[in-house]
């Protein structure tokens, strides 16, 4: 794998850049921009390697759920999960092992490929050096692209497919080579089973491919039409086998939970609501602002600065649209703007979320490219500093000022887990007394799937802890936070019992309200991102207080 990546990077990226990027010996701006591009790509690769090749994190709740589903259910019952992505992941798990490194391999390779593809696409899309390096920086240093390269989800694969499809389409349209058409059609056909959102790119892509193929001759037009029909048939088959069986209230569920669909409960109409969500989405290339932290800035000042950054990206996007229209860049308009318009239409029909959400990671390709087009207007080549100003102000300077962890942890729309460490702690815990019966172990609702995955499916961890935990504990899964007291009291009046908490606030709220009867906490251990609490009977049972005032924090707990 490493040798193939080296070959790709050596011959497909840097040699292409050396051939096509303006010679660094001709002017200073070209040389500095080329050097900055190489540094940005290298940093993007290092940040993607951290957390995968070294300093690996465990699966969190969603990843555990996906990892078990590929074995528990037929792939056609995966509903919203891309069947091609799951099929390859299952093959890898069966061939090697059902572990984090194996299941995250495909997203990570896609993340590396996306980083290496961005400079090639920038060269095809933009004329000016500043626009090119800005687009490369958006893709290479996006926290969304970096974090999902280390996540067992298809969003990194989706991002790479959109980049690759745009690149191959532009190459065929601009050079009219049959091999570029073959690669574009092949990627479109295969990619439709790995990323459902690729359907939003297909209308623009096939319009341009079909128009160019029509000029080239019947054979190429027939091939383009045949692949388009094949993709339509494949999408229809997936609809009848999978998507048709989605719950009828799924849009309202996701709308209430993440505000990505307009629901009847919204206080404003669809147009006003959707404009807000669309603005959030086109500002996603700068979403790193949500991670900004600095002791030298007050929270108010930091909030205002985030607002300025969001406005800057929205204005850049609007200016990019103006440049596309003003310069009559029909090709760029079809490829970059049409997918975003279709996403808006799909959301109105209830088929796709709208806004800054993990399913829309792929949109940074389009919103980032349109924003970069704002700095690609026809003009005399400016000075070096004017060339670098957009990328320095929008990407590099905020990264230098505010970044602290350098992706030590996943942070946007996802997070890291240390659940195996919690299992090791429980396995090493000695019984309350020699010969004591197994203690009760209650898992909160967010810990149930990770426990099942690591004690049954992940062979590496299961071999280490599964038997010990089975001998020492009677395990109960609590399916709701409010059920924790009843589940912990189920052991009767004697004996120590434990709770594994992914989020501690619901437990603490119930404890303050006296919902645990005569149980008292005798030990509380933070094990990475999880907390283990030991309780024993300690005093006469207390009744829950009546009319207990509810704090703002507890209201947030209920919403969570």
Q: Are 242 and 78 in contact (CB under 8 A)?
A: yes
pLDDT digits (tens, 9 = 90+) for 22-75: 444 346 878 889 999 999 999 999 999 999 999 999 999 999 999 998 888 887
pLDDT digits (tens, 9 = 90+) for 208-251: 999 999 988 889 999 999 999 999 998 888 777 776 666 776 67
Say what the pLDDT of residue 540 is.
54
Rounded to the nearest angstrom, the gap between the alpha carbon of residue 100 and the centroid of all alpha carbons in its chain is: 16
Q: What is the mean pLDDT of residues 258-274?
A: 91
Return the CA Rg of the chain: 26
Contact 289, 259 (CB under 8 A): no
Burial class (CB in 10 A: 0-12, 13-18, 19+), 264: exposed
pTM for this prediction = 0.90
Write down the pLDDT at residue 542: 53
Whether 384 shows a pLDDT value over 60: the answer reads yes
Cα–Cα distance for residue pair 39/30, rounded to 1 Å: 14
- Per-domain boundaries in the chain: 1-153, 157-245, 251-378, 419-559
Name the β-bridge partners of 533: 499, 524
Closest CA to 28 of 375, 377, 394, 382: 382
Q: If you ran DSSP here, which 8-state letter would residue 196 be given?
A: G
Q: Output the pLDDT for position 382.
A: 66
**Rounded-to-integer distance, Cα 323 and Cα 375, Å:** 9
Maximum Cα–Cα distance across the chain: 88
- At 162, is the pLDDT very low, low, confident or very high (cuts 50, 70, 90)? very high
- Indicate the CATH number for domain 419-559: 3.40.190
Structure confidence at residue 493 (pLDDT): 60
Q: Is 389 helix (H, G, I), strand (E, B) or coil?
A: helix
249-260 confidence digits (pLDDT tens):
667 777 778 899
> Closest by alpha carbon to 158, among 399, 417, 339, 391?
339
Closest among 20, 551, 91, 121 to 365, alpha carbons compared: 121
* CA 362 to the chain's CA centroid: 9
How far apart CA 232 and CA 226 sit, in angstroms, is: 10
Q: Which of 90-94, 117-121, 122-126, 383-387 has the lowest mean pLDDT?
A: 383-387
Degrees to nearest 5, angle at CA 447 with 443 and 453: 115
Name the region of 236 (left: φ>0; alpha: ψ -120 to 50; beta: rest): alpha
The H-assigned helical ranges of 327-413 are: 330-332, 338-348, 363-373, 384-391, 397-402
Sign of the torsion angle spanned by Cα atoms 323, 328, 331, 336: positive
Could you tell me which residues come within 8 angstroms of residue 228 by beta carbon, excluding any fewer than 6 positions away?
202, 206, 210
Contact 289, 309 (CB under 8 A): yes
Quick one: 367 exposed, middle or buried, by C-beta within 10 A (0-12, 13-18, 19+)? Answer: buried
Average pLDDT over residues 189-197: 93
Q: Which residues pair with 535 in a beta bridge?
A: 497, 521
Q: Which two tokens stand for residue 435?
A: 């010969």
Q: What share of the chain is helix, strand, coil (3-state, %, to 5)?
A: 65, 5, 30
Cα separation, 287 vs 414, whole angstroms: 14
Burial of 435 (0-12, 13-18, 19+ CB in 10 A): exposed
* Averaged pLDDT of the chain: 88
Whether 477 shows a pLDDT value over 80: the answer reads yes
Residue 169 banded pLDDT, cuts 50, 70, 90: very high
Checking if the pLDDT of 553 tops 80, the result is no
The H-or-E segment that residue 84 falls in is helix 83-95
Quick one: average pLDDT of 88-116?
96
């Amino acid at each position: 794998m490493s040798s193939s990546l080296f070959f790709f990077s050596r011959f497909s990226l840097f040699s292409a850049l050396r051939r096509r990027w303006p010679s660094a010996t001709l002017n200073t701006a070209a040389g500095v921009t080329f050097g900055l591009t190489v540094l940005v790509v290298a940093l993007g690769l290092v940040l993607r390697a951290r957390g995968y090749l070294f300093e690996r994190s465990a699966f969190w709740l969603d990843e555990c759920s996906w990892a078990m589903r590929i074995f528990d259910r037929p792939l056609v019952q995966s509903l919203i999960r891309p069947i091609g992505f799951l099929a390859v992941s299952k093959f890898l798990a069966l061939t090697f092992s059902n572990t984090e490194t194996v299941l995250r391999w495909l997203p990570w390779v896609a993340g590396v490929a996306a980083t290496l593809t961005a400079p090639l696409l920038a060269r095809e899309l933009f004329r000016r050096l500043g626009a090119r390096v800005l687009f490369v920086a958006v893709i290479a240093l996006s926290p969304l692209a970096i974090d999902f390269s280390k996540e067992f989800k298809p969003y990194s694969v989706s991002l790479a497919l959109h980049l690759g499809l745009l690149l191959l389409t532009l190459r065929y349209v601009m050079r009219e080579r049959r091999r570029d058409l073959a690669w574009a059609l092949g990627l479109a056909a295969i990619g439709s089973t790995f990323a459902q959102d690729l359907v939003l790119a297909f209308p623009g892509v096939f319009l341009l491919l079909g128009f160019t193929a029509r000029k080239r001759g019947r054979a190429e037009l027939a091939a383009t039409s045949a692949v388009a029909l094949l993709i339509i048939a494949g999408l229809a088959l997936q609809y009848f086998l999978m998507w048709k069986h989605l719950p009828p209230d799924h849009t309202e569920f996701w709308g209430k939970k993440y505000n990505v669909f307009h629901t009847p409960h919204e206080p404003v109409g669809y147009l006003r609501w959707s404009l807000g969500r669309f603005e959030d989405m086109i500002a996603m290339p700068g979403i790193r602002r949500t991670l900004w932290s600095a002791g030298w800035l007050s929270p108010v000042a930091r909030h205002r600065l985030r607002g300025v950054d969001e406005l800057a990206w929205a204005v850049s996007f609007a200016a990019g649209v103006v440049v596309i229209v003003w310069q009559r860049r029909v090709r760029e308009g079809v490829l970059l703007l049409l997918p975003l318009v279709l996403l808006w239409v799909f959301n109105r029909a209830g088929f796709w979320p709208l806004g800054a959400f993990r399913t829309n990671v792929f949109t940074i390709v389009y919103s980032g490219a349109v924003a970069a087009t704002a700095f690609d207007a026809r003009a005399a080549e400016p000075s070096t500093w004017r060339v670098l100003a957009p990328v320095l102000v929008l990407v590099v300077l905020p990264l230098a000022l505010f970044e602290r962890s350098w992706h030590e942890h996943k942070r946007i729309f996802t997070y890291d887990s240390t659940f195996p460490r919690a299992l090791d702690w429980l396995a090493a815990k000695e019984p309350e007394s020699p010969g004591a019966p197994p203690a009760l172990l209650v898992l909160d609702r967010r810990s149930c799937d990770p426990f099942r995955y690591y004690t049954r499916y992940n062979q590496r961890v299961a071999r280490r802890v599964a038997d010990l935990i089975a001998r020492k504990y009677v395990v109960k899964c609590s399916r709701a936070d409010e059920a924790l007291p009843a589940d912990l009291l189920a052991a009767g009046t004697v004996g120590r019992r434990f709770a594994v908490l992914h989020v501690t606030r619901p437990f603490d709220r119930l404890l303050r309200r006296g919902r645990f009867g005569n149980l008292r906490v005798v030990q509380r251990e933070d094990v990475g991102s999880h907390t283990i609490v030991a309780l024993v009977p300690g005093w006469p049972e207390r009744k829950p207080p009546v009319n207990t005032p509810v704090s703002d924090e507890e209201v947030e707990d209920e919403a969570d």
